[in-house]
């Protein structure tokens, strides 16, 4: 069995990406903290790792893809207080907006979108394991801390010796931890904050622990791949490893992938620097698809610089591909020639595409291979046989599909996007997530479709 290569942050090398169980990949991607619309930088891991998933599936694998929703945290609580409402109202609102952006960006629905607040039992279970093994300790005010120095492997992902970490660590006023390096796995409640009962008093989970608990619950003790933006390497992923490996006694994630930053004027786009553009705003002006194209146009580990002009140029590039594909349909319908040269050209472009993707998900070169195919199609379509043209169309659709592009062709009566929404609604209903199911139904209605629940499953009808 051949495997693609990926750059593993843990070993700092390109390695063959071999899953624990051949043909099945278990992947966990850190998702958003839902207190606002996502910005263009947040969309980078979303699009990059969705493309990785699509590629692994294209190569015949099953992928279990879990992406969490951080629905309790300081920023959510702050926003709720500002609006005079509760944390869950804020979290549900922006979770829904996030899903809307994901659909706009043609992101395949994850296998599961676990929410932190729905895994309090699992979170407490892992904290109990850590306390029992001496890796965590409760303190008087209801906080529970991880005993960082006891974990001899701490720092292995970010390649930082413990001495380097020591110099930067401080104990803040009011913190009762034993050591500046220790970090909270449970936060005792403060007045006016949402709280859950626990053996250590009312409180809420720390941020890092939710991912350890939800990865364990949904994917098992050892997962194949954990990913996120490069800013998560330290401390978030380092702390996840510490918690999971100390609690479970085995490797947490076998591979680690991190995307580089989306920059603006050579600085990281972020809420705190206030130099961000939301996906929603950019999509309103340019459309969603050029955003996805843009985010895949560079190698995922390199920095990518955002400007409106470059996203607009992506729109123009996409239009060239749409035109090529439409012309191809026309050529198929009117084919009278017998040429077969395009068959080999399409196969060559496909090989090039696979070679690029196999080499650490080089979407930039993969896109170049698609354009090469488009050029060959444009040159040869008038002289090719129908069968040859149909073969080229199949290759074209497969490759653009792996990139998650060209999803706005409305050749089909029901657009893919609508079908995907209907599927997501069915999944939400199965999970008894009525709020989400209803929100999707409303969105479909807005697009001019109704879903009828029939004995054979949901049927989509155009109004």
**Residue ranges binding ligand AMP (CB under 6 A):** 30, 32-33, 41-42, 44-45, 228-229, 231-232, 259, 261-262, 268-270
Stretch that binds Zn ion, among 29-37, 99-107, 193-201, 428-436 (CB under 5 A): 29-37
Identified binder of Zn ion from the candidate list 30, 52, 77, 283, rule CB under 5 A? 30
* Binding partner at 211 among Zn ion, ligand AMP, none, C-beta below 5 to 8 Å by kind: Zn ion
- If the CB atoms of residues 137 and 207 are measured against ligand AMP, the closer one turns out to be 207
Backbone φ and ψ of 355, nearest 5°: -60, -45
Cα–Cα distances (Å) from 178 to 57, 98, 190, 291, in that order, read: 47, 39, 21, 47
Q: At closest approach, how far in Å is the CB of 38 from ligand AMP?
A: 7
Q: At closest approach, how far in Å is the CB of 267 from ligand AMP?
A: 9
- Residue 216 has which token pair? 């364990």
DSSP element (H, E) containing 187: strand 183-188
- If the CB atoms of residues 37 and 449 are measured against ligand AMP, the closer one turns out to be 37
DSSP element (H, E) containing 458: strand 457-462
Stretch that binds Zn ion, among 26-34, 52-60, 262-270, 371-379 (CB under 5 A): 26-34
Identified binder of Zn ion from the candidate list 72, 105, 211, 427, rule CB under 5 A? 211
How is 111-173 classified by DSSP, letter by letter? SB--BGGG-HHHHHHHHHHHHHTTSEEE-TTS-EEE-GGG-TTTTTTTT--HHHHHHH--PPT
- Residue 176 has which token pair? 């009762």
Q: At closest approach, how far in Å is the CB of 276 from ligand AMP?
A: 8
Say which DSSP state 108 is in: P
- If the CB atoms of residues 42 and 381 are measured against ligand AMP, the closer one turns out to be 42
Is residue 399 packed enough to be buried (19+ CB in 10 Å), middle (13-18) or exposed (0-12)? buried
* Binding partner at 19 among ligand AMP, Zn ion, none, C-beta below 5 to 8 Å by kind: none
Q: At closest approach, how far in Å is the CB of 150 from ligand AMP?
A: 27
- If the CB atoms of residues 211 and 440 are measured against Zn ion, the closer one turns out to be 211
- If the CB atoms of residues 30 and 342 are measured against ligand AMP, the closer one turns out to be 30
Q: Alpha-carbon torsion 41, 229, 355, 65, what sign?
A: negative
CA atoms within 13 A on the CB side of 442: 8
Question: What is the binding site for Zn ion (CB under 5 A)?
Answer: 30, 211
């Amino acid at each position: 069995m051949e495997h693609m290569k990926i750059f593993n942050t843990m070993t700092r090398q390109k390695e063959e990406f071999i899953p624990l169980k051949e043909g099945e990949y278990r992947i966990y991607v850190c998702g958003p903290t839902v207190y606002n619309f996502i910005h263009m930088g947040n969309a980078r891991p979303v699009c990059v790792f969705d493309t990785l998933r699509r590629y692994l599936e294209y190569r015949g694998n099953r992928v279990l893809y879990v992406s969490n929703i951080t629905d309790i945290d300081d920023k959510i609580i702050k926003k709720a207080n500002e609006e005079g409402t509760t944390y869950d109202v804020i979290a549900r609102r922006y979770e829904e907006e996030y899903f809307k952006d994901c659909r706009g960006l043609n992101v395949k629905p994850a296998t599961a979108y676990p929410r932190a607040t729905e895994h309090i039992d699992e979170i407490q279970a892992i904290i109990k394991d850590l306390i029992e093994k001496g890796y965590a300790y409760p303190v008087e005010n209801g906080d529970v801390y991880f005993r960082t120095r006891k974990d001899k492997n701490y720092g292995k992902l970010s390649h930082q010796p413990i001495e380097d970490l020591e110099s930067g660590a401080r104990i803040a006023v009011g913190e009762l931890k034993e050591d500046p390096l220790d970090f909270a796995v449970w936060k005792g409640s403060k007045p006016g904050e949402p709280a859950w009962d626990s053996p250590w008093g009312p409180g809420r989970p720390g941020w890092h622990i939710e991912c350890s608990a939800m990865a364990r619950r949904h994917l098992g003790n050892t997962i194949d791949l954990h990913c996120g933006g490069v800013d998560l390497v330290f401390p978030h992923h380092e702390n996840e490893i510490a918690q999971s490996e100390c609690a479970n006694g085995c490797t947490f994630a076998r591979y680690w992938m991190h995307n580089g930053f989306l920059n603006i004027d050579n600085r990281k786009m972020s809420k705190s620097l206030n130099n961000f553009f939301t996906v929603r705003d950019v999509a309103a002006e340019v459309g969603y698809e050029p955003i996805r194209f843009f985010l895949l146009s560079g190698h995922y580990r390199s920095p990518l610089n955002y400007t409106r002009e470059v996203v607009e140029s992506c729109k123009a590039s996409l239009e060239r591909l749409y035109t090529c594909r439409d012309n191809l349909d026309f050529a198929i319908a009117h084919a009278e020639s017998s040429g077969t040269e395009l068959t080999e050209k399409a196969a060559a472009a496909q090989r090039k595409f696979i070679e690029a993707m196999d080499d650490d998900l080089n979407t930039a070169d993969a896109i170049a291979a698609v354009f090469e195919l488009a050029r060959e199609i444009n040159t040869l379509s008038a002289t090719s046989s129908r069968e040859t043209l149909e073969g080229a169309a199949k290759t074209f659709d497969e490759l653009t599909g792996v990139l998650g592009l060209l999803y706005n062709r409305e050749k089909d009566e029901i657009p893919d996007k609508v079908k995907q929404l209907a599927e997501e609604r069915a999944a939400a209903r199965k999970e008894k997530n009525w709020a989400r199911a209803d929100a999707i139904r409303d969105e479909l209605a807005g697009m001019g479709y109704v879903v009828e629940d029939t004995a054979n499953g949901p049927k989509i009808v155009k109004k």
